[in-house]
Amino acid sequence: MLYKRYIEIGRVCFIRLGDDIGKSGVIVDLVDQKHLLVDGPDGIGRKVVRLNQVALTDIKINIPRGCKTKTVRTAMAKEGVEAKLAATSLVKKFAAKNAKAQLGDFARFKNRVAKTASNRKIRSTVRKLKKSS
């Protein structure tokens, strides 16, 4: 198959734009060409989102079309969606980006100092190697 991730019932998607950024939900129904009914039981709740706002993950669960939130919840628990999601690069990258944005000034200072020190070490080692070769 050329495409691996489809917009389909049961596909777990990650919200990448909008108010619920960073949260995930399962596609429960398709409203129209540009909107999905998504359900993330303890996150975004049951909501209509635009296709634009969504990034697809590799995770797909088995749920009937338009099912209730309770069904979604039990299906998610059964397939261990939480754990799988935490392992996806989308979630990890978002968490890392978020963590960086939450850093205080002192933390950023520490990072800068550490980076300069390591860069200096790298450059001096490279220079030594160039001279010896």
Partner 1 sequence: GRKIPTPKEPMTVPYRMRILAPNEVVAKSRYWYFIRQLSKMKKGSGEILSCERIHSKKPHMVKNYGVWIRYMSRSGIHNIYKEYRDTTEDGAITQLYREMASRHRARAESIQVIKIEAIPASKCRRNYITQFHDYNLKFPLPHRIPRKLNNPRFTTRRPITAF
Binding residues for partner 1, rule: CB under 8 A, are: 2-3, 5-9, 29-32, 37, 46, 48, 51-52, 55-56, 65-66, 69
Q: Residue 101 carries which side chain, given as an amino acid letter? A: A
Q: Which is nearer to partner 1, 9 or 59 (CB)?
A: 9
Least distance between partner 1 and beta carbon 72 (Å): 11
Least distance between partner 1 and beta carbon 66 (Å): 6
Q: Which is nearer to partner 1, 46 or 84 (CB)?
A: 46
| Residues whose CB is less than 8 angstroms from the CB of residue 76 and which lie 6 or more positions away in sequence, other chains included | 26, 41, 61, 82
Q: For residues 4 and 100, what is the distance between their CA atoms, to the nearest angstrom? A: 31
DSSP-derived letter for residue 127 is H
